[in-house]
Structures are given as structure tokens and as C-alpha cells.
Amino acid sequence: MKLCIPVEQNELDLKYSVAPSFQRASYYCLANLEGGIIEIFSCEEIYKKYKTNNIVIALQQDGLKAIISSHISAMSWNFFRRNNIDLYNPASKDIKENINLYKANQLKELTADDLLQADDCHSACSSCEATCPTKN
């Protein structure tokens, strides 16, 4: 099973490196949980490896099963949900802690209503499944 976490820097040893946004991250931590392999790739490395300049499609092609991110666009959220990729909020900025919490099934799911709390949500796009009071 593969898991992705957007990260701020290309170093696994940094305790606090979960990026605040999925789309705006410069690096992505890809963890193969069955093999115990944890690697960090830049966007450019992922684009080259999967021959696409779309991070969402590249990760989906690689058999991604879950993403841990505190912010993701509504459009990407819908794409991942339709493709059976689970989305979770991080418990902290610590990469390894979040991976361990994921394995223990202790992370909170990232819901459509969480998207409404984001600073860039204007509640009028109809891009997610959230029930927005201003849409009525």
C-alpha cells in the first residue's frame, strides 16, 4: 500500500516537515508500507518518473491508496475520492509520526466540510460535496 504526504524539504530526518498544502508542496514523501520504504521526491522527479506534469495523475498511476495533508483543493479531493484514495488530516508536522498513526488507523479523515474551513474556500464553487450554508 502506498501513502503520500506533501513535505516542505527533501530530508526524512526533519521532525517538522509536513507541508501545509498538497498542491503547493515542492516535495512529496511516498511510503510503501508493505516494503517499509520511505522516499522523498521533488515534483520534477515525479513528473519525469511518470511522464506527466500533473502530480495528482502521477500519484494515482503509482497505486496510491492514501494521502495525509491538511489542505487539498476541492477538485483534487473529488478526484482522489472517486478513485478510492483515502484522505486524512495530519496529527502533527512529523512525517514518521503521521505514518505510524495511519498504520494504527488513528488519523482523522479529511472531509468535504474540512475543505470549507480552508482560507481559499469561498463556498461558491460547487467543487466539493460539502454542505455550505451560503450555497442555498
Query: Model confidence over 29-83: pLDDT tens digits?
Result: 999 998 889 889 998 998 898 888 888 788 888 889 999 998 888 888 888 888 8
Give the range of the structural domain holding residue 37, as residue numbers without chain letter: 2-135
* Average pLDDT value for the chain: 83
Quick one: pLDDT at residue 107?
97
Q: Distances from the Cα of 70 to the Cαs of 18, 20, 23, 108, in angstroms?
A: 9, 6, 11, 10
Quick one: pLDDT at residue 10?
83
Q: Please say if the pLDDT value at position 131 is more than 50.
A: no
Q: How many CA atoms lie within 13 A of 81 on its CB side?
A: 15
CA atoms of 104 and 122, how far apart (whole Å): 34
Total domains, the chain: 1
In tens, the pLDDT along 85-96 reads 999 999 999 999
Q: What are the DSSP E strand ranges found in the chain?
A: 2-7, 27-32, 37-42, 64-68, 86-88
CA atoms of 74 and 116, how far apart (whole Å): 9
Q: Please say if the pLDDT value at position 7 is more than 90.
A: yes
pLDDT class of 4 with cuts at 50, 70, 90? very high
DSSP code of residue 49: H
Q: Check which CATH number belongs to the domain holding 85 and give it.
A: 3.30.420.130
